[in-house]
Structure 1
């Protein structure tokens, strides 16, 4: 190799390609020629923009950059808020009854509903079980695109803003363009629960929930979106149907259907459904119990919307317009408001005024008698009281055991819920108190045929000096019977009897019959200087009717929770202990019958029916009373002014007696006449008269006790001493 001196041959790689036939094997394949380089097009010179266009493009880029970042931020915030609300939303059933307080439903003596208090909830309903007419009416009225949006309707909001601006209001004042979902969000108060420590009451809480404004509207959007994610459309409607307030204390469509029509929400017809849907705009304004014609006009608008949107055929719409919805008998009556208020006040607050439960109260009210009483009062004031008079009146009708059957607390029935003059007004009783003076005499052995002196009388009152009562007519009739003295409502004989019996005795008997409010201590006690309510006075007269036993007026028979059979509270009134003997009550009843037949109460006389009663007029005619009874009912009437000014030309035997007559004529319609339980006394000639009476003989009266000695603060004149001797002599001769 290196030593040979020859040059070595170069190394050659193995042949990789086949040798073409006929050719040498050592030549490589021909190479492909490289493509010719592409000619580049001449570059177009850059376009030059004007200064203004460049500035605009720059601003646009800045705006776009800011906008998409803001949009992205808002979207992220909205998504986060929506997710947060969705996680907070409870199950459907927890949202159907959102009341903070319960309801009270009142039944009359026959078990029929006549009044509601609190927030009535008729029970849970669903959008699938209510009447299809009602479901369609709500959608047609409140949100016709409900099934096609996702909780918020930009088109609806834009339309509402346009309407508000055109009307001269703010963009979000008036029409809000809210979808049904957004309205439900408001009903749920955007998930904020009622806290008594934060809000004064539930009303303030709901006002805050319904407050408008841009920020509130902004918060509604994610909450509405969350609801659409959490619940189905049917579920959202179900919440709406159960929580919407529809006037007259009705919460939800089931309660409203029961309240206004006396039927379930799944039974309402197109006209009724339209009226219920019409309430959503303004529940108090369009409540049919406030103004039926206005509610019907609003319902007609809803019927038109349902027809336009294909929910009603032309024939169905025409039928609904021709036959508008009518109130049920109970809703139309509007009776018993004052009575219902009294029952609510008489029960425990936690089961009535402040109840968080749904309560059923069975009461003593008779709706026929209640309507008769209201009609009678209206008839007298319409025909016999001058127009524009501000005089007020109150009426109570009850049975002999104190069960109140009717009550009117003022002339304006619609004002029930305000001042109840039958139960809250303490007024001087005047001569309506005198039967209790004579009750003391009858119970102590005296007789209606006994005599009393009607002559001038002066009593020295310790610390006050002499007191001289007078009769209404400023006349004196000398020796007269106790019956005549009561029938003519003579003052001096009543004072003489009261002083003879002793004021403590009179007070004890009056208190036993239920008159306990600060009975006067002086001799004016006999003339009704004490104050009492009409309810208490009527109850006291009921004690005379039932034979002399005390009575506690009552309206509540029993109270139970809705759905429960066992009552929580039973009857709280009725007949109590005996106050005077049955014989004394029968003798007193006879005397009170003569008030109607021959005395101051003639205008109260009922044709073909025995009546006993007493008139009452206080000093300066500030109060006028008539209270009386038949064998079936006792009724009391009071008239006066709320500011205590004197009545003009009114006494107890005038307008109050006429009102009483009108009430009792209506109350007794269809009832057979029954006699009162009385003892008719034997009348004898007064001392030294030389004449005798041919009146029928009465049963032997009880032997009277000796007349009481004059009290230290009295000055008894000789005539009074003779009178007492006469009473002591004649008391046992009958």
Structure 2
């Protein structure tokens, strides 16, 4: 019944329903086909794009598989300490094994938390970054690049997005830049996948940590640890590692030197990720947040030990190895520098120049504090004077004993005292300094020192007073050589490298004055003269192309008939002139050239008085040749050069000896005569060294230059002092009075603690005891000395005399002690 009541479908409606089902199936089938074809087309397009882009990429990854970044070349002292470096990038290559585990962990947590899961690029990371950037205000807040992609970008794709803006509107340029960026991203992905197939994760991580730029000129974690914290990579703490890892996002923005609070915020972000990733515990996290970060003082970042020495090595190495090897090749120079001697040379030259400057007088205040600002000066910070100027704008919260400060004159009582204000303290000037500044008058206005004037001072040794410390207007140089090897163990090219990088040891050609005389006397000995031959010291004229030339001695006084040993000891000009005429200019110039002097030497008789201009290094090398037995000694600044693998490139330790210039016996006799300069001549102050010393002082015309070169059997040092503009130093300023004390100051502190010994005696040398003034044979008494002679030149008068019957005829017996007088019965 019910079935009978159900309405029956008509054939038309059935067909209609069938058509609807077919239409639905057709749409689904069409959509499916569109998806399949679309996917296929997309895949084909991607394949075509990848293939096209891949053709532009390197077919092998040698640049990364054999990772060789730019490495700095370093200069090591003879003790193995780094004293200088040459680089385009400050980089220290460190193996992954040397790094503490928390350091790579910090970078993984900060930059690529799924590093060990992905195969070069991280889909999840890209999605997460895209979502964060979408939720932001439109700017890019987070990147999705993996560590592998970052390596590719910084090595193989450097400069890939560079685009010229010629003939483009801003809109066109923006569109092109965006296209370039997407293209670079595609290359990055392709190369990242390829790199992951070629290298292990550890190798990729090692490259990344040694290559990444971390600000302040530091490339890689090794250089960054040294730059920011002054420590080796092994000593970096968890807190410091997190701070370094935080720099990757923006090395300038998060640099702790610039903005420590911002750097701390970024460090906290990295530490939080490290805790989430189970690299550190909660306790480690809290301890790292509480740890104080000690940064290296920024001024120390540009510190260069022994700057003149290191700069000279750079110049020589550039000529020998080229800029590329020097600045990128990671060469290692094992230098001849002795750090202890270098420090002694620097301090001796500085003290000597300051002492001479004091003798020349107080030059006046370096500035003045306005009346309205004097209250702020008192009780405030100290004002250290640094660099090339007397600028007092720098501030310091404490007073250090060796630092120079600007001090304001605050009291000028009638008693003659002077009180100065250094900021934290008020101190009196020492009595001598107070007297000197009170006597000073301005050159034009004749005005005296007044309240508020600024003077440069240092603390005295007990810190209870201040002493003047004005910057010297004079300059100086000192170079120290081992005479037998030519190894340069110390070199100072000026008073202050920061004020002047001009190297007066190797670049300044200055008139040598009497420093030239040992070469003249050596030539005379070679020609047959002996140390005791007598010549007349008096006016002596020479006819030259420009007229008659009659030079005088230093003080316009003459000594009459003198021995050659006395003439050299007292630096008599007329004797030097006569000897030069006798031996001839050609042989004299030949000897100096033979000893390595390359500066211009005019072929004029005036060279007998030291008119040529030589560098201190040339004088040192020439004297070293005499001290080394008459052979040429070439100064050398490094013994060994190796590459990054330790392979020896240059080995100068066994360099052949230089050619013989004068015979060993002639050189020894000349050395013996130069010992007389120290024992009885113009350099007597050098006797205080307590060792046999040979040397010669020098003073150029009008007191423009003063010299002293002195040497023992172990060490030779040349000192020069003068003004850069070649104006006179001052009246009666001589090498014996200025250069010798600087030499002594250095030698007393730096001379090797070797056994006291005389110069080695070569064959063909005879000795005789002589009276130096007359040149006659002498007994052991009085001022007689042992003098060396070239064998065969000893005068006949030394072979006559009373017969020798006992040793006491040669050496006087020691005096017996005086017998005490008996004063009581007990001594009878």
Whether the TM-score (by the shorter chain) exceeds 0.5 is: yes
Compared CA separation, residues 687 and 350, structure 1 to 2 (3 A)? closer
SS in 2 for 1:105: strand
Describe the superposition over 1:460-502 as per-residue Cα deviations: whole angstroms up to 9, x where unpaired.
113x111121222122222223233222222222111211222
Note if 1:342 corresponds to 2:312.
yes
Paired position in structure 1 for 2:695? 613
**Equivalence for 1:388:** 471
Q: 2:557 aligns with which of 475, 493, 516?
A: 475
The equivalent of 1:533 in structure 2 is 615
Q: Hey, what does 1:683 align to over in structure 2?
A: 771
* 1:409 pairs with 2:493: yes
Whole-angstrom distance in 2 between the partners of 1:239 and 1:151: 26
- Greater Cα shift, 371-380 or 261-270: 261-270
1:509 Cα deviation (Å)? 1.9
**1:489 and 2:583 matched:** no
Q: Secondary structure at the match of 2:784?
A: coil
Deviations 1:366-416 (A, max 9, x none): 222223222333333455535233433222111122111122233334589
Q: 1:625–1:656: 8 Å Cα contact kept in structure 2? A: yes
Distance 1:189 1:262, change over 3 A: same
What is the aligned partner in structure 1 of residue 341 from structure 2?
369
1:625-636 alignment, distance < 5 Å: 625-636=707-718
Distance 1:193 1:522 in 2: 65
2:582 & 2:231 partners in 1: Cα distance?
64
Distance in 1, Cα, partners of 2:598 & 2:337: 25
- The within-5 A match list for 1:217-228 is 219-220=180-181, 223=184, 227=188
* Residue 739 (structure 2) aligns with: 656
User: Structure 2 length normalisation: TM-score?
Assistant: 0.60
Distance in 1 (CA, whole Å) between partners of 2:798 and 2:598 is: 30
CA distance in 2, matches of 1:86, 1:596: 79
Q: Partner residue of 2:784?
A: 695
Deviation at 1:436, TM superposition (A): 0.7
5+ residue gaps, structure 1: 1-19, 21-28, 36-75, 163-170, 196-211, 288-293, 706-727
Asked if 2 retains the 8 angstrom alpha-carbon contact of 1:625 and 1:652, the reply is yes
- For 1:260 and 1:31, locate their aligned partners in 2 and report how far apart those are by CA, in whole Å: 92
Rounded Cα–Cα distance in structure 2 between residues aligned with 1:160 and 1:731: 105
Tell me by how many angstroms 1:652 deviates. 2.3
Structure 2 counterparts to residues 279-318 of structure 1, below 5 A: 302=263, 305-307=266-268, 309-310=271-272, 313-318=285-290
Q: Which residue in the other structure is 1:445 paired with? A: 528
CA spacing shift, 1:177–1:348, aligned 2, 3 Å? same
Distance 2:663 2:800 in 1: 20
User: 1 or 2 for the larger relative contact order (CA 8 Å, sep ≥6)?
Assistant: 1
Aligned to 1:243: 211
Q: TM-score, normalised by structure 1?
A: 0.67
Partners of 1:300 and 1:655 lie apart in 2 by 54
Rounded to whole Å, the distance in 1 between the matches of 2:159 and 2:187 is 15
Correspondent of 1:503 among 562, 585, 597: 585
Q: What are the within-5 Å matches in structure 2 for residues 519-668 of structure 1?
A: 519-568=601-650, 570-571=652-653, 575-648=657-730, 650-668=733-751
Q: Distance in 1 between matches of 2:176 and 2:616?
A: 55
Cα separation, partners in 2 of 1:227 and 1:281, compared to 1, 3 Å: closer
Cα gap change, 1:694 to 1:423, in 2 (>3 Å): closer
CA distance in structure 1 between the partners assigned to 2:666 and 2:656 by the alignment: 21
Cα RMSD (Å) of the superposition? 5.3
C-alpha distance in 2, partners of 1:256/1:534? Answer: 40
How far apart are residue 629 of structure 1 and its match? Answer: 0.8
1:105 corresponds to 2:189: no
Deviation of residue 552 (structure 1)?
Answer: 1.2
Residues 103, 241 of structure 2: 8 Å contact kept:
yes
CA gap 1:31/1:674 in 2 versus in 1, 3 angstroms: closer
Question: What is the distance in 1 between the residues matched to 2:695 and 2:230?
Answer: 41
Unaligned runs of 5+ in 2: 11-44, 116-121, 163-172, 275-283, 359-469, 762-766, 802-828
Is the 1:445–1:704 Cα contact (8 Å) retained in structure 2? yes
Q: 1:102 to 1:216 in 2, by over 3 A?
A: farther
Whole-angstrom CA distance in 1 between matches of 2:219 and 2:503: 27
Between the aligned partners of 2:572 and 2:215, the Cα distance in structure 1 is 54
CA distance in 1, matches of 2:614, 2:253: 39
1:55 maps to which residue?
A: none
Inter-partner Cα distance in structure 1 for 2:63 and 2:291: 39
* Change beyond 3 A, Cα 1:334–1:152: farther
Alignment of 1:47-66 (within 5 A): none
1:538 Cα shift? 0.6
Secondary structure of the residue aligned to 1:592 is: helix
Summarize the Cα distance change of 1:81–1:373 in structure 2 as closer, same or farther, 3 Å threshold: farther
